[in-house]
Every structure is written in C-alpha cells, then in structure tokens.
Amino acid sequence: MSTDTATPARTSPPPRETRRPGRLRRSWDKHWYAWVMVTPVVLVLGVLIFYPLGRGILLSFTNLTEANQLAEICSKSITGTEVCKPNPNAWEIVGVDNYVNILTGKVGEFWQQFGVTLIWTVTCVVFHYAIGLGLAVLLNRPMRGRGLYRVLLILPWAVPAFVSAFAWRFMFNENFGLINSVFESVGLDRVAWFADWKTALLTAIVANIWLGVPFMMVTLLGGMQTIPGEQYEAAEIDGATPWQRFVNITLPGLRSVSMTVLLLGTIWTFNMFPIIFLVTGGEPAGQTEILVTGAFRSAFEGIRNYSLSSTYGVLILSILLVFSVFYRRALRKQGEVW
C-alpha cells in the first residue's frame, strides 16, 4: 500500500484532525488507521498471492519439469563422499516457447480444452441464471409452504461440491447407476455416459447446474426483495400484465445484482475444478478436460510439467481478465456505475 495521494477521497469523511501542510503528511494523518487496518491483508496478499503469482509467471518462461529441476546431480562415490556435477539437462529459460507450443497445438490440447471450457461455462451459467431467476420469481410471492420450498431448493448448495460430484458420478454409472436403470425400465437403451465426450460433458454440466442454481436463486431472491412494492402496485393500476411487470420492473430492479452474480458465476464456473475432476475425470481420454483440470494434470500427473501448467495458468488468467474488462466496459457504456 503506497501512501500516494493521487486519488483523492471521493466523499471525504468528516474531518476530525487539524489540517497540516504537506500532502503526504496530511494524507497519513487522515488515513493512517485505515492503512493500519488493511496491513495484515495486504501483507498476506503480497506474500501468499502476488509472490507466487510472480513466480508462476516467471515459470511459464522456463522449461522446468520434475525431471530437470535439479541444478546439480549428486551421487555418492564408493568412499562415501558426495560428488556433485552440474546437471547437463537442467532447466533453462526458454522465452515464449511454452506459449507458442501451447497456442499452436504442438503441446497439449489447449484449443480443444478451451472449446470444452467455453461450452461448459456458457451452458452452466445460462442455466444457473435462468433456472435461478425462474425459481426466485416463483418463490417471491406469498403462498403456503414457501419456507419449506426455499430450504429444499437450497439443499444442493449445502452439500460439499466433491460429495455432489461423487453422487452424480454414482447416478450416471453405466452398469448400476440410477439414470440408466430408469432408462431401462422405461424401455430405453443404457447409455455409456463416459464413453463419449458429449455425454460425459453432459453429466458434468448436469451436476454443476444442479449444484449452482441455489446460489443464483437465493441471490436473485434477495435482490427482488429490495424492489419496492409500490412499483408493482402502480404498474398494476396502470394495467400492466404480469409479463410486462416482470420485464419492466423486476428485471431492471435486479440489474446490479445480476451483473455481479453473472460475472462471479462466469469466473467461478470457468475455474470450477472439482466437478470436472471428479465427475468425468477427463474421460474419455482427456476429451472433457477443461483448462483448469488440464493444467492440474500436466503439473501433477506423470512427469510433472511445472512450466507447462504455469503457462496454462497465465493463459487462463489472461482470458478471464480480458473478459471482465470487456464486461465492465459494456456495463459502463450502459451507464452502470459499478
């Protein structure tokens, strides 16, 4: 945290201290307690997030793997003394080779995984939002049993994600899974869900939609309850149909909440590790891997390719940053302050 005063406070809190000359000094006098309060977090962010982030970015310009990480190879001679020789195949800086290799498809399956990630993210977020909004609208009205519905509908959120992942993998099991049993009992053929990438991805998407709807529903419901009831009454007096009221009052009233949860939802889904990792496990043959799980496998399975996985990480982060910059810009164009 620097003590620069380049960005003046927008709405200054009531001035309590006497003003002294010197911008820096004045700023320190006025804000020292705020800065002291944020210090622990800033330190943690620096040490635990930005330092590793920097290292990760540097790693992406090397060819470090598990096999070449030692700078010296030491071996014990017969006399018991250790002899160390420089490792002839030690890792080195390779510039942008990793990026070139990944983006041209020479190494790994970046574009295929990127495509899967896009399908995965868009489908999940669209269904999360649409179903969440629908259920929120239904719940946002007086009726019998509302509290019960709310608790039941929230249940999927209460289950740890890895447990849900196992539950869905269990239900989609080819031989004794519930879904195939139901298919069979109504006269359909069993489906080998994990034998084809489309059906395998479908199982993961179903699991993730099931898991993610409650968050959207509860958040949107919270947003709806901040819309003043008079607006609906006025619209009703003016003869607006329920659909018109929904489009002209509910949706605009939910705007700012929606924008936040859509951005967060997209980021979270893009990086959703456990569902893909545990439901499909990349089956068949790694074809349902999304970028994050693909990167994890290259880093921690087989010969651990640390540099490759870091390059993936940088690429994923860049994609998300670009996305959110455009997202914010689009919002700003429409006059959204956030």
Partner 1 sequence: MTMTMAPGTAAPSAVTPNKQSRARRSPLASFGLHATLIGASLIAVFPIAWVVLSSFKPKQWVQSSELSLVKEPTLGNYSYVLFETNFPTWMLNSVIIALCTMVIGILMSATTGYALSRFNFPGRRKLMMVFLVTQMFPVAILIVPIYQIMATLGLINTHASLVIAYLTIAVPFCSWMLKGYFDSIPTSLDEAASIDGCGPFQTFWRVIMPLARPGIAVTAFYTFLTAWGEVAYASAFIQTDDRFTLAYGMQQFVPQFNAQWEYLTAAAVLVTVPAGLVFLYAQRHLVSGLTAGGTKG
Contacts with partner 1 in 298-317 (CB under 8 A)? 299-300, 306, 309-310, 312-314, 316-317
C-alpha separations of 241 from 139, 141, 247 in Å: 19, 16, 10
Which of residues 73 and 130 has its CB atom nearest to partner 1 in the complex?
130
Comparing CB distances to partner 1, the nearer of 201 and 211 is 211
Residues 76-115 close enough to bind partner 1 by CB under 8 A: none
CB of 168 to partner 1, least distance (A): 7
Q: Which residues pair with 93 in a beta bridge?
A: 62
Piece of the chain touching partner 1 by CB under 8 A; list 77-85, 92-100, 108-116, 176-184 = 176-184
> 174, 192 in Cβ contact below 8 A?
yes
Does position 325 bind partner 1 by CB under 8 A? Answer: no
3-class DSSP assignment, residue 51:
helix
Question: Does residue 334 interact with partner 1 by CB under 8 A?
Answer: no
The residue within the footprint of partner 1, chosen from 257, 286, 287, 331 (CB under 8 A), is 257
Binding segment toward partner 1, per CB under 8 A, in 78-86, 88-96, 108-116, 274-282: 274-282
Options 76-84, 88-96, 174-182, 196-204: segment touching partner 1 (CB under 8 A): 174-182
> 273-284 b/e with 16+ CB inside 10 Å = b?
ebbbbbbbbbbe
In the window 47-66, what residues touch partner 1 (CB under 8 A)? 48-49, 51-53, 55-57, 59
Of the candidates 61, 249, 234, 34, which has an alpha carbon nearest to the alpha carbon of residue 137? Answer: 249
- Whose structure tokens read 């659909």? 243
Region binding partner 1 by CB under 8 A among candidate stretches 45-53, 73-81, 93-101, 104-112: 45-53
Tell me the C-alpha distance between 334 and 96, whole Å: 38
The verdict on 286 binding partner 1 (CB under 8 A) reads no
Beta carbon nearer to partner 1, 119 or 267: 267
Q: Is 84 helix (H, G, I), strand (E, B) or coil?
A: strand
- As a whole number of angstroms, the distance between CA 108 and CA 110 comes to 6
Closer of 49 and 81 to partner 1 (Cβ): 49
In the numeric block, which tokens belong to residue 152?
């039941």
Minimum CB separation from partner 1 for residue 155, in Å? Answer: 5
Question: Residue 152: which residues within 8 A CB-CB, separation 6 or more?
Answer: none
CA 6 to chain centre: 33
Site string for partner 1, 186-215 (x = CB under 8 A): ------------------------x--xx-
CB of residue 77 to partner 1, shortest distance in Å: 27
Positions in 111-140 near partner 1 (CB under 8 A): 130-131, 133-135, 137-140
| Residue carrying the six token digits 């936040």 | 260
User: Considering beta carbons, is residue 177 or 197 the nearer one to partner 1?
Assistant: 177
Q: Closest distance between partner 1 and the C-beta of residue 79, in Å?
A: 29
Number of residues that make up the chain: 338
Q: How far is the CB of 115 from partner 1 (least distance, A)?
A: 17
Q: Are the beta carbons of 284 and 292 closer than 8 angstroms?
A: no
Percentages of the chain per state (helix, strand, coil), in multiples of 5 = 65, 5, 30
Interatomic CA distance for residues 289 and 107, integer angstroms: 15
Question: Is residue 154 near partner 1 by the rule CB under 8 A?
Answer: yes
- Token pair 């800086």 is at which residue? 93
